Structure 1
Amino acid sequence: MAKDIKLDESILKKNKIPVLIKDKEWKTLFSDILTRNMKKLVNKLEKLLEEERECKIKLKEYKKQKKAYMDLILKLSDEANSKNNERALMQLEEAKNKILEINDFIDEIQFRLETLPKEIDKTNFELLKETVIISYDYIREGRERLEYLNEEIQRIRKLLGNMWEEKFTKEKKINNLYLYLHGTLGHEEIDRLDRKYL
């Protein structure tokens, strides 16, 4: 096995290697030869990508909520200032608290969205290393098998060539013997002997 293969992590960016599980060619080539470790890494990548997708959706939702509360604050500020409205002041305070709460959620999500790409890259790199190891093992074993198959094909070709030669020799001898007997004994006697012996 090619376990000692070393790769530089910068190769991901340098060669613009995509997230492998999103790559159609990778899926086609490796879906039927995944090792247990590769399957774990694929699952981990799927979870990280799903988390990233969910974080982006949540972030959008929270930003939308924040905007709604900001609009509400503007409306309530006008009411509280113009009419000295006690109820509007309470609602204004609640809206401000809600924005602070949403800001905390937004900060958490944005922090997670900053850390996720590194985790995704790290996991993708681990999967790439496994992919290279499996590829070289498969190529090495495949070449050994091809060598064996080529030798077998050559052996069978030679055997087939010998068999063809024997076939032509036998056919020629049979035809010559039959022609000799036909010429010597004649048509009627050969028909009688054919019925009896062939």
Structure 2
Amino acid sequence: MFSKGTGIDIEKSLISKNRIPILIKDATWLKLFGDTGDRFVNNAKKEVENLLEKQRLIEGQLRHKKSEKRKAMSKIIMLSDEVNNNHLTKGAELLGQYQQEIHTLNDEIDNLTFELETLPMALKEANLNLIKATVKLAYKQLAQWESSIEPFNSEIETLRNRLRELIEKKNDYEEKINSTYLFIHGLLGSEEIEKLDKDMLD
């Protein structure tokens, strides 16, 4: 029934249509394939894990950069008030430094945002590779397990036939017992049978 085919052709559109999850986050996949020794599955799994870790790190960096930008903006607002109201002499120089810091932060935020926006496509591709490796391994295992079932089926059939023979023998003996007992009962009568039952069967 199951063959060990080497070519796995799965359309990306089918993956999108079926809303297949990131496999390493799926409890059933983890139970069935999480600890497999298959090299192709493990390599594809590692690729997905690396991309998810990269996504997590970039998101953390973005939060940090945006926080730094908010702090720099607050300092600029505070310094602008000092320069305008109190004629702070070093204020203009500090303003320039913070403005340059914000410019640098904006560039870093833009780069991180762009990198983060490209990750879903790479993650989808990596997940597709993992799906293909998983399906290939699954069919290989199904073929192996199916061939392993055959000896069990043969043994079950042998036991079934043996059980059928035993049931037939049991029924034969029960029929002989009933027929013989009924014959004796009819021949001697119930009173005599009761006496014989006590003497012969106790």
TM-score by length of structure 1 reads: 0.77
Task: Output the CA distance in 2 between the equivalents of 1:144 and 1:57.
Answer: 50
Which structure 2 residues correspond to residues 175-186 of structure 1 after superposition, within 5 A? none
Q: Aligned Cα RMSD in Å?
A: 2.3
SS at match of 1:18: coil
Match of 2:20 in 1: 17
Matches for 1:148-187 after TM superposition, within 5 Å? 148-159=151-162
For structure 2, list consecutive stretches of 5 or more residues without a partner in the other structure.
173-202
Partner of 1:3: 6
In the other structure, the counterpart of 1:70 is: 73
- Select the residue among 47, 57, 82 that pairs with 2:60: 57
- 1:125 is matched with 128
Q: Amino acid of the residue matched to residue 3 of structure 1?
A: T
What CA distance in whole angstroms lies between the structure 2 residues aligned with 1:114 and 1:144? Answer: 47
Mean alpha-carbon deviation: is it higher for 148-157 or for 23-32?
148-157
Separation (CA, whole Å) in 1 of partners of 2:34 and 2:83: 64
Amino acid at match of 1:154: E
From 100, 112, 135, the equivalent of 1:97 is 100
Tell me the residue number matched to 2:139: 136
Shift of 1:80: 1.4
* Counterpart selection for 2:110 from 107, 112, 126: 107
**After the TM superposition, which of the residue ranges 119-128 and 156-165 deviates more from structure 2?**
156-165
Whole-angstrom CA distance in 2 between matches of 1:116 and 1:38: 21
Corresponding residue for residue 32 of structure 2: 29
CA–CA distance in 2 between the matches of 1:49 and 1:31? 16
Give a deviation string over 1:137-176, Cα, whole Å, max 9, x none: 222222222233211221244356668889999xxxxxxx
Identify if the C-alpha distance between structure 1 residues 121 and 106 changes in structure 2 by more than 3 Å, giving closer, same or farther.
same
Equivalent AA in structure 1 for residue 127 of structure 2: N
Helix, strand or coil: the match of 2:10?
coil
User: TM-score, structure 2 length as denominator?
Assistant: 0.75
Unaligned 5+ residue runs, structure 1? 170-198
* Partner of residue 79, structure 1: 82
- 1:5–1:100 CA distance, 2 compared to 1 (3 A): same
| Separation in 2, partners of 1:75, 1:63 | 18
Kindly indicate whether the alpha-carbon contact (under 8 Å) linking 2:44 and 2:133 is maintained by their aligned counterparts in 1: no
Q: Secondary structure at the match of 1:86?
A: coil
Judge conservation of contact 2:36–2:42 (CA < 8 Å) in 1: no
**2:87 is the alignment partner of 1:88:** no
Give the whole-Å Cα distance in 2 for the aligned partners of 1:79 and 1:57.
33
